[in-house]
Amino acid sequence: MAEITASMVKELREKTDAPMMECKKALSEAAGDLAKAEEILRVKLGNKASKAATRVTAEGIVGIYISADAKLGAMVEVNCETDFVAKNDEFLALVQNVAELVATKNPADVEALSALDINGQSVEETRKALIGKIGENMSIRRFVRVDAKGAVASYIHGGSKIGVLIDLVGGDEALAKDLAMHIAASKPKSLDASGVPVELLEVERRIAIEKAREAGKPEAMLEKIADGTVQKFLKDVTLLDQVFVKAEDGKQTVSQLLKAKGASVAGFTLFIVGEGIEKKVTDFAAEVAAQAAAAAQK
């Protein structure tokens, strides 16, 4: 049996983008014949999309598209299993193409987006083909499209893990960029108090009352204490009431900044990759040990 070297595995992986272990298995099956191993992988890769479809996709990136006149913008979150794949050029190209489709075609939902065309193939067909080639599951999680009242600006942070779109009326490009950076850093939940869900406020109120009660505060004061807590919470989570991160005096709010600049924010969207997705925590050492044990039993 031909010896399968690390350089052979590396060469096959570079040609196919297939997972390392799959490359090694294919080379073993092909007795070291690189061309035959590539054929074996091409046959096997067709089934990889269905095999990978149940795996958690909590990594990925945010992709953004803005039209030349800044009147139209789109942002999409596309997930994958590992951060390594999130840096793959073909994965990055898929995300960018999808963001542009959202802006230009205005699909109603992810299903409608998946049916749109990319270079003669549907988005869904392109996604499945890439899953087969790379060997990891990936999914389009969500998107937003902005038809601006003013001008759309964006900010990407942390290797495209955090993305912001903002619709700024008035002001200038520098202000829009600063505000988008502020949103990425401060993570407001809404523009103002009207956008904060009532249920969220009720949770804060209940917690404040229980804390005050445990601290021995008089019952007659509990509601007033809760009111104060809720108001502070609103200032922390609403964009207009937050202290601007670049405020020189450390006090100027975003609302005050906008007033000084003669501008207003029509809306914004913040995406954080994997937010709300339960990630599987893997003990790498234990996983390697388990694989070695399984190999020994064979």
Concatenating the DSSP letter of every residue in 78-130 gives: EEES-TTGGG-HHHHHHHHHHHHHHHHH--SSHHHHHTSEETTEEHHHHHHHH
> For 37-46, 81-90, 241-250, which range has the lowest pLDDT when averaged over its residues?
37-46
Quote the percentage of the chain above a pLDDT of 70. 86
The residue count for the chain: 298
Angle at 151 between CA 245 and CA 259, to 5 degrees: 50
pLDDT band at 283 (very low <50, low <70, confident <90, very high): very low
- Biggest alpha carbon distance in the chain? 84
pLDDT at 83: 84
Residue 254 has pLDDT above 50, yes or no: yes
Q: Is the dihedral of CA 216, 217, 219, 224 positive or negative?
A: negative
SS3 content of the chain, % helix, strand, coil (to 5): 50, 20, 30
CB 153 within 8 A of CB 65: no
pLDDT band at 86 (very low <50, low <70, confident <90, very high): confident
Q: Is the dihedral of CA 41, 42, 43, 48 positive or negative?
A: positive
Token pair recorded at residue 281? 């925590």
Mean pLDDT of the chain: 87
Token pair recorded at residue 61? 């990136």
> What one-character DSSP code corresponds to residue 86?
G
Name the residue among 97, 144, 147, 95 with its Cα closest to residue 269.
Answer: 144
Residue 294 has pLDDT above 60, yes or no: no
> For 5-14, 40-49, 121-130, 176-185, which range has the lowest pLDDT when averaged over its residues?
40-49
What would the DSSP string read from start to end of 125-186? HHHHHHHHHH-S-EEEEEEEEEE-SSEEEEEEETTTTEEEEEEEESS-HHHHHHHHHHHHHH
pLDDT band at 289 (very low <50, low <70, confident <90, very high): low
CB 203 within 8 A of CB 278: no
Residue 197, SS3 per DSSP: coil
Name the residue among 82, 29, 92, 90 with its Cα closest to residue 59.
Answer: 82
What does the alpha-carbon distance between residue 266 and residue 166 come to, in Å, rounded to a whole number?
Answer: 8
User: C-alpha distances in angstroms, 148 versus 153, 154, 170?
Assistant: 10, 12, 12
pLDDT at 45: 62
Report, as an integer, the average pLDDT of 136-157: 95
> For 33-42, 162-171, 227-236, 289-298, which range has the lowest pLDDT when averaged over its residues?
289-298
CB 77 within 8 A of CB 141: yes
